[in-house]
Structure 1
Amino acid sequence: MMKAKIVYASMTGNDEDMAEILEEDLQDLGFDTDSTEVAFADASDYLESDLCIFITYTYGEGTMTDEIADFYDQLKELDLTGKYFAVMGSGDKTYGEHFCENVFDYQSAFLACGATEITAPVTIENSPDDEAIAAIDHAAEEMADKLDA
């Protein structure tokens, strides 16, 4: 059984909602999933999983909050060769070019660690609406298809 580790950072609950939707989807698709809030996670937790997922918000103009920055620094030290990853997150489009910037920061960090991207980043505005839930569901199906979960 494929193991998926979901780590999420949530200030308003939007990203926690995304993590819960994704975790349920992946469990339904046959994954052994574990979900942890970033404050209680260590990036090395990803070493025990086949699929590494990070879900984050972007605050303001993309400056990482301390908890997100600490985890990011831990992540950059890892070798995730042979692992797959996906990134998701929420943001506010009023910040223009900074919309969901931290999602893409994490995408770059996972690639630098040698992990293989399994699905395109899912970025949503604010809380997950029906369209966002459909995008999360689609991403989960894509992960299952590519990993034969």
Structure 2
Amino acid sequence: MASAKIIYASMTGNNEEIADIVSEALENLGVDVDVSEISQADTEDFADVDICIVATYTYGDGELPDEAVDFYEDLQDEDLSGKVYGVCGSGDTFYDDSFGKSVDDFAAAFEKTGATKGADIVKVDLEAEEDDIEHLEAFAKSLAEKAADM
């Protein structure tokens, strides 16, 4: 059975909900999932799982959440070769140029780890609505399928 670790940063609860949606979708696909808030997590938490996921929000004009900065910096130094990663999260389309920038930043950080991209990033405008939930479920399915192929 594949295993996944979801690390999320959430100020308003939107990304906690996103993490829960992805977790439930993965569990429905037979994946063993563990979810942690980013301030309670360490990048080494990804060492013993097949699928590594970060769900984050973007603060202000494109900044990483304060509580995610150390995790982001440490992630770039991890060797996650042989693992699958995915990044999702919320933003506010009011900030046209920086909508979901932290999601992009975490995807770039994962690229440095040697992990394999398992799904296209998913950005949600504020809170997940019906079409967002469908995209997040497809994101989870893609991650599970990629992990099964490795």
Q: Which residue of 2 aligns with 1:84?
A: 84
Task: Tell whether the 8 Å contact from 2:8 to 2:37 is kept in structure 1 after alignment.
Answer: yes
In the alignment, structure 1 residue 112 sits paired with structure 2 residue 112: yes
Task: Tell whether the 8 Å contact from 2:58 to 2:101 is kept in structure 1 after alignment.
Answer: yes
Q: Which residue of 2 aligns with 1:68?
A: 68
Paired residue type of 1:144: A
Alignment of 1:17-56 (within 5 A): 17-56=17-56
**Secondary structure of residue in 2 paired with 1:114:** coil
Q: Which residue of 1 aligns with 2:129?
A: 129
> 5+ residue gaps in structure 1?
none
Report how many residues are paired.
Answer: 149
Q: 1:69 to 1:148 in 2, by over 3 A?
A: same
**Whole-Å separation in 2 of the counterparts to 1:123 and 1:72:** 18
Task: Tell whether the 8 Å contact from 2:83 to 2:147 is kept in structure 1 after alignment.
Answer: no
**Whole-Å separation in 1 of the counterparts to 2:108 and 2:83:** 15
Task: Tell whether the 8 Å contact from 2:84 to 2:143 is kept in structure 1 after alignment.
Answer: no
**Whole-Å separation in 2 of the counterparts to 1:144 and 1:85:** 10
Task: Tell whether the 8 Å contact from 2:8 to 2:55 is kept in structure 1 after alignment.
Answer: yes
Paired residue type of 2:11: M
**Whole-Å separation in 1 of the counterparts to 2:80 and 2:147:** 16
**Secondary structure of residue in 2 paired with 1:97:** helix
**Whole-Å separation in 1 of the counterparts to 2:5 and 2:98:** 26
User: TM-score scaled to structure 1, two decimals?
Assistant: 0.96
User: TM-score scaled to structure 2, two decimals?
Assistant: 0.96
Q: Which residue of 1 aligns with 2:143?
A: 143
**Whole-Å separation in 1 of the counterparts to 2:40 and 2:117:** 24
Give the percent of matched residue pairs that are identical in Structure 1 and Structure 2. 42
> 5+ residue gaps in structure 2?
none
CA positional deviation for 1:144: 2.3
Q: Which residue of 2 aligns with 1:101?
A: 101
**Whole-Å separation in 1 of the counterparts to 2:77 and 2:41:** 15
